[in-house]
Amino acid sequence: MNSQLEQVLKKQQNQQHAPQESEIENVVQLVGFMVGDEEFAVPILGIQEIIKPIEYTRAPKTPPYVLGVFNLRGSVLPLIDLRMKFGLSRSKENEDTRYMVIKDNDEVAGFVIDRLTQATRIKESAIDPAPETLNDEQNLIYGVGKQKDKLISILNVKALLKRDF
């Protein structure tokens, strides 16, 4: 755990000390997380908070990926299972599971993710539009961020919060 933390800190420091040119270019800050075996990311500005799983109440007459509603300090928010939303099997809760509370204007909802990975900065120029084949009608993918060793799918916050039933 400790060594991981150190690594993360080091990474953050590196990012802070990163050459100034990245500041000049538009940089997007992302929070990465795992859903299934794939890594996704959401712009940090779209995230209200990330909490550990708490109890929720099932809401009837909703699609299966809407798990229900939960109480976040007095507000009732919908809880959406991203795995099911992406057509995977239902999430099994473990100690890495988090609820990511995503907010766009007045619309707020919690999303179940399997595990947080890391916060990254990525240049806007390094983000490609989502490939045609990936781009379904829901427009969930905003783009694909290219990093040194991997690709990361950036989700569209507005589309996530859009009701589609």
Partner 1 sequence: MDEFEEILEDFLVEAFEMIEQLDNDLIELENSPDDLDLLNRIFRVAHTIKGSSSFLNFDILTHLTHHMEDVLNKARKGELSITPEVMDVVLESTDKMKGLLEHIKETGSDEGAIDVAPTVRRLEAILNGGSAEEPPAAEPEPEPEPAQAEKDLSEMSEEEVEAEIERLLAERQEEDRKRREAKKAAETAGEAPSAEPEEKDLSEMSEEEVEAEIERLLAERQEEDRKRREAKKAAEAEAQKSAPEAKETPKSEAKPAAPAKKETKAPPKERKTTVEQTIRVDVKRLDDLMNLIGELVLGKNRLLKIYDDVEERYEGEQFLEELNQVVSSVSLVTTDLQIAVMKTRMLPIGKVFNKFPRMVRDLSRELHKEIDLIISGEETELDKSIVEEIGDPLVHIIRNSCDHGIEQPQERIEKGKPPKGTVELKAYNEGNHIIIEIVDDGKGLDPDMLKAKAMEKGLINEKEADQMSDKEAYMLIFKPGFSTAAQVTNVSGRGVGMDVVRSNIEKLNGIIEIDSEIDKGTTLKLKIPLTLAIIQSLLVSVQEEYYAIPLASVLETVRITPDEIQSVEGRSVLRLRDEVLSLVHLADLFDVERVFSMGEHAYVVIIGIAETKIGLIVDSLIGQEEVVIKSLGEYLKGIEGIAGATIRGDGRVTLIVDVGALMELAKNVKSSMENLEDRSEKREKSSPADYNVLVVDDSKTDRSIMRKALEPLGVTITEATNGVEALNLMKEGSTSFDAALVDIEMPRMDGYTLAAEIRKFNKFKMVPLIAVTSRTSRSDRMRGVEVGMTEYITKPYTPEYLMNVVARNINLNVEQTS
Instruction: Give the C-alpha separation, 154 to 30, whole Å.
Output: 8
User: Please, which residue, 11 or 58, has the CB nearer to partner 1?
Assistant: 58
Q: Quick one: tokens of 86?
A: 């992406």
Instruction: Give the C-alpha separation, 53 to 42, whole Å.
Output: 19
Instruction: Give the range of 39-47, 64-72, 123-131, 149-157 binding partner 1 by CB under 8 A.
Output: 64-72
User: Please, which residue, 101 or 127, has the CB nearer to partner 1?
Assistant: 101
User: Does residue 52 touch partner 1 according to CB under 8 A?
Assistant: no
- Identify the helix (H) or strand (E) that includes residue 103: strand 98-104
- Which amino acid makes up residue 102? I
User: Please, which residue, 50 or 108, has the CB nearer to partner 1?
Assistant: 108
Instruction: Give the C-alpha separation, 31 to 100, whole Å.
Output: 10
Cβ within 8 Å of residue 67, ≥6 positions away: 56, 58, 79, 80, 81, 112
User: Does residue 47 touch partner 1 according to CB under 8 A?
Assistant: no
Contact residue for partner 1 among 88, 108, 144, 159 (CB under 8 A): 108
Contact residue for partner 1 among 52, 61, 148, 150 (CB under 8 A): 61
Judged by the rule CB under 8 A, the positions of this chain that interact with partner 1 are 55-62, 66, 68-71, 73-78, 92-93, 106-109, 161, 163
